[in-house]
Chains A and B, each alone.
Chain A
Amino acid sequence: MIDQHIASAFDRDLEEIQAHLMKMGGMVENAIREGAKSLKSRDEELAEKVRKADRQIDALDMQIQEECARVLALRQPIASDLRTVLTVMKVAANLERIGDYAKNMAKRTTVLVHMQPIDGASGAIKRMASEVRQMLTDALDAYIRRDEELAQDVRHRDLEVDQMYNALFREFLTFMMEDPRNISSCMHLHFIAKNIERMGDHVTSIADQVIYLVSGELPDEARPKGNSANYQLQIEDTDEADA
């Protein structure tokens, strides 16, 4: 709805909340980018910066939730206004979780810099993080433009992230079986990869919310999931190891 409310203060409230959400989105995009960069370049200082920045993301989430509660109490929004407020609340919660995962990536980076690097792993993780970050950028663009099609596109791209995770999972298993001294760093790297995969799920949830915001209905069509192969893989690999 481009039309303005008769009560212009209501418009200002909604615009302000959404501006805060977008600011939060930008901070989270940054956290993913810099978290992955700190891992790749073994930059402890940058990792520390990412960890600290998460506090601001959390504070902004709190602020947005409070602002939404205030609008619900004072304006009793309905129809598209209600969907806007509900969407902002959920998207902010998703962003906050993604921020936590980025912080965790930075935290593990500060440990990993003191370990022997694993060949190619941090590059692959950075590519995965950059794919998720691009999905997040597009999901937030879809939010701003109320673009259902772009949101659908984002949902489907989560499959690629799942596949990247599966490939990394297999790679880390191999490294660990080759040399038990790799186990410690591979475990950290695996958690990072898993967390990025979870970020992808949160981005997908943001895209779902955009669809709800625009159409009034959450998408019911099941999106393709790339996880099942993993469990298969685990069993096979265990068999191999036994043999």
Chain B
Amino acid sequence: MKDMKISAKNVQVYYGDTHAIKDVSVEIEDNTVTAFIGPSGCGKSTFLRCLNRMNDTIDICRVEGDILLDGEDIYDKRVDPVQLRAKVGMVFQKPNPFPKSIYDNIAYGPRIHGLARNKAELDEIVEKSLRRGAIWDEVKDRLHAPGTGLSGGQQQRLCIARAVATEPEVLLMDEPCSALDPIATAQVEELIDELRQSYSVVIVTHSMQQAARVSQKTAFFHLGNLVEYDDTTKIFTNPEDPRTESYITGRIG
């Protein structure tokens, strides 16, 4: 039995009058890849964004219920969202490197969080992060070239390296491979599997095959409800709920 990293209880999310997440409770395990799947608009990204308070940036968005990270309420008034996001990193659908050098893309987070005392330490963090992002060998000779000059797959791995540079405990990924070709996708998936050793990874994906390939746990969302949450093998061989079955097998449900 693995430790629980995130524990969400009776979470409700409203965008103005729209009830986007309806009473979702879920326990996310440490050192595990958890996939959120479901049709567009089912609330999976919304729920993912609750986990590092990204929804705070949307004025009309209201979150109720409890979300605990290692037992601590992340919506507590004393919690600084910036500190939280250093612990709960995020990678987005479209690779979004800063318009800076490869080096500075990685160094940005550690600098603002004061993780390095000097240049040597910062260099070390940059190298370690790029290695973890499985892109070091490809960029080590051009660290001061702009990050935006890399290919799409490389940019995405740079963003993953940037996310791990602040030593997060949880990594949230919102459709990290949807803009990548199959080779780059395979590289990112391989990376996700390696990252699982150190972090708890939560990934939102529209690709059922990807969810099946990379995750150990799968949560199926539909119309703002968490329909089914179970071991990935169970979900993809013999799901309990007919709505899950209809969705994953590509039927009108």
Given A3-B251, A6-B250, A6-B251; A80-B209 close (CB under 8 Å): no
B182 CB, min distance to chain A CBs, angstroms: 14
Residue in B closest to A2 when the chains form the complex, CB atoms: B251
Contact A3 B237 (CB under 8 A): no
Chain A hits for B212, CB < 8 A: 78
A165 CB, min distance to chain B CBs, angstroms: 36
Within A195-243, the residues touching B (CB, 8 Å) are 215-217
Contact B252 A4 (CB under 8 A): yes
Contact A3 B253 (CB under 8 A): yes
Contact B250 A79 (CB under 8 A): no
Is A1's beta carbon under 8 Å from chain B? yes
Annotate B35-53 by CB proximity to A: 1 below 8 A, 0 otherwise. Answer: 0000000000000000000
Residue in A closest to B244 when the chains form the complex, CB atoms: A79
Contact A3 B236 (CB under 8 A): no
Annotate A1-17 by CB proximity to B: 1 below 8 A, 0 otherwise. Answer: 10111110010000000
A83 CB, min distance to chain B CBs, angstroms: 7
B78 CB, min distance to chain A CBs, angstroms: 45
B29 CB, min distance to chain A CBs, angstroms: 23
Given A216-B237, A216-B238, A217-B238; A79-B249 close (CB under 8 Å): yes
Given A76-B209, A78-B208, A78-B212; A3-B246 close (CB under 8 Å): yes
Give Cα A39–Cα B250 distance, bound, in whole angstroms. Answer: 50
- 9 tightest CB-CB pairs across the interface, nearest first? A216-B238, A3-B251, A78-B236, A81-B249, A79-B249, A5-B250, A79-B245, A6-B250, A5-B251
**Other CB < 8 Å A-B pairs besides A76-B209, A77-B249, 14 of them?**
A1-B251, A3-B246, A3-B251, A3-B252, A4-B251, A4-B252, A5-B249, A5-B251, A78-B249, A79-B236, A79-B248, A80-B249, A82-B236, A83-B237
